[in-house]
Amino acid sequence: MSIDFNNQKTIEAVKWLVGRAVAFDLVREARFLANFLEKNLSAGAVERPDDQLIYQELLAKVKFMALPTLGVEETAGLLQENFTLIFEISDYDLWGKIKEKLIATAKFDDRDFFKKRIGAAILANDQSLTRDGIILGGVEARGSVKNWLADARQTLGSEKVEIVQLSQYLINSANTKKLSEEERRKVDYLLKFFEKTKISSMELGGMEEITIFEVDGELDAYEEGITERIGKEIKDKVAELFSAQTTSEIQDEIQSKYRGNEAEEKKIAAEIKKIQKVAGGDFNKMADLLFRAIPGPGRAADKIYFAAILKILAEEGKIEKLLEEERFSGMVISYLKTKDRPSELAGFKANPRAAQYVSALLQYLLKDAAGMDEDESGRIGMKIFNILAKKGAGNKYQGLVYFDLEKKEFRWS
């Protein structure tokens, strides 16, 4: 579909796209727009002179955004014709764009040639920089870019000028006295920019790239002749982020491990539904199902089934009740004996519902009966304890299972 550049809707659309590329420094988009507008403008696609002016300005703006991709002569032409447009682009960093082009230029003498060329281009720029005129060599002249540069050169000379001298010129020159704050800022920018074009890339002050030097364990950043130490505050912020990153990574790891894999969780959920259908919330039926799930010698247990039934019992607050039944309390006694904890038998008899005995029962059921390892049984154990905590046990079971950070596994205390 061919586009009608004379249509007001097209103008609005192009303005919107250019505004976006300019506001957000979208170099790629700016390149596309520049090529597109240039091609169509030179093909005579825009009829009305007023519209041509609008498109020309939009073209210049996107060229400023895409400046590092332009050739030397195209850049020089842009600066010679449109330098003052940069003041209409919020926060536009002309030297930053030029610098990018310079860094991409391999040879240092080519860089110097480019700087000289753009210096010459703005020396020839006839755009108005200030509203009022200036006195140049005793004669009234327009406040154009080239006239301001000529005045500064007459006052300060054409060689390199120190920043202090520039500041004095801005304060003391008769021409600058009438300037508004905004205009003074523009003249200041112009003069400083012009000075940069005089410095060779083969001088220390003309080195465009930032180089990081490592000196005695410290970091120094070197840019355009100035060395700056990267301070402790910055290093501390980085160290803090590293530490926070590690903590959050560990938390993520524990959480991910705790959640288990999705397929397994789905199977447990399905099993829970089946068991609930059969047992219908009857504790005795559930206890029977659990007891019958313990496999005989040489037979493998259904781990999912164990996890599901224990979860239901936990949800219904009936895990502890299992210990009132001889068949389950026997398991705890057997567990305590085999784990070299016979001294705890008396304690168990006195207070069978104590947290450590619930833990012993769960360990027997999950590890010895269901055949889970320490890590897997610990993970399920922690889930059951968390359910019990939510159901009113508070922190009774806290710490009975923990996450071993070194081995990255759940473990029973």
**Position among 212, 226, 346, 350 found at the interface with other proteins (CB under 8 A):** 212
301 makes contact with other proteins (CB under 8 A): no
8 Å CB contact between 313 and 322: yes
Chain residues 386-405 in contact with other proteins, contact rule CB under 8 A = none
Write the CA distances from 76 to 88, 113, 117, 181, integer angstroms: 19, 11, 6, 28
Residue 227 binds other proteins, judged by CB under 8 A: no
Written as six digits, the tokens of 50 are 């007023």
Nearer to other proteins, 7 or 334 (CB): 7
Residue 20 interacts with other proteins (CB under 8 A)? yes
| Shortest reach from residue 405's CB to other proteins, in Å | 15
Identified binder of other proteins from the candidate list 126, 172, 174, 242, rule CB under 8 A: 242
Question: First CA to last CA across the chain, in angstroms?
Answer: 73
Q: Which stretch binds other proteins (CB under 8 A): 161-169, 226-234, 265-273, 363-371?
A: 226-234
Counting contacts by CB under 8 A, is residue 244 touching other proteins?
A: yes
221 binds other proteins (CB under 8 A): yes
Which residues share a beta bridge with 128?
144
The letter for the amino acid at 205 is G
- Say if residues 176 and 170 touch (Cβ distance below 8 Å): yes
In this complex, which beta carbon is closest to other proteins, that of residue 174 or of residue 234? Answer: 234
| Binding to other proteins, residues 191-210 (CB under 8 A) | 208-210
Q: Which residues contact residue 297 at a Cβ distance below 8 angstroms, ignoring those fewer than 6 apart?
A: none
In angstroms, the CA 325 to CA 320 distance is 10
Does 246 interact with other proteins (rule: CB under 8 A)?
Answer: no
Are 186 and 179 in contact, with CB atoms under 8 Å apart?
no
Helix (H, G, I), strand (E, B) or coil at 113: helix
In degrees and rounded to multiples of 5, residue 49 shows phi and psi of -55, -40
Alpha carbons 310 and 315: distance in angstroms, whole number: 9
* Interacting residues with other proteins between 109 and 138 (CB under 8 A): 110
Pattern 53-92, other proteins, x by CB under 8 A: ---------------xx---------------------x-
Task: In whole angstroms, give the CA distance from residue 287 to residue 203.
Answer: 87
b/e per residue 8-17 (b: at least 16 CB within 10 A): eebbeebeeb
Closest by CA to 379, choosing from 364, 392, 363, is: 363
Judged by CB under 8 A, does residue 6 bind other proteins?
no
Of 249, 190, 262, 224, the closest CA to residue 111 belongs to 224
Among 42, 44, 50, 106, binds other proteins (CB under 8 A): 106
Give the span between the Cα atoms of 225 and 300, in whole angstroms: 75
Out of 56, 84, 108, 402, the only residue in the binding site for other proteins (CB under 8 A) is 108
Q: Does 213 bind other proteins (CB under 8 A)?
A: yes
Nearer to other proteins, 208 or 376 (CB): 208
Token pair 């567990």: residue:
335
Nearest of 386, 366, 385, 378 to residue 407 by alpha carbon: 378
Least CB distance to other proteins at residue 410 (A):
19
Give the interface size with other proteins as a residue count (CB under 8 A).
59
Under the binding rule (CB under 8 A), the answer on residue 43 touching other proteins is no
Interface with other proteins, residue 24, by CB under 8 A = yes
> Which residues is 404 bridged to in the sheet?
409
Determine the interface stretch with other proteins among 46-54, 212-220, 372-380, 385-393 (rule: CB under 8 A): 212-220
Q: Give the dihedral sign, CA 327/329/335/341.
A: negative
- When asked if residue 41 is in the footprint of other proteins (CB under 8 A), the reply is no
Q: Which of 61, 63, 101, 311 binds other proteins (CB under 8 A)?
A: 101
| Least distance from other proteins to the Cβ atom of residue 240, Å | 9
Least distance (Å) between residue 184 CB and other proteins: 20
96 binds other proteins (CB under 8 A): yes
- List interacting residues with other proteins (CB under 8 A): 1-3, 7, 9-10, 12-17, 20, 23-28, 31-33, 35-36, 68-69, 91, 96, 99-101, 103-108, 110, 208-214, 219, 221, 228, 230, 234-235, 237-239, 241-242, 244-245, 248
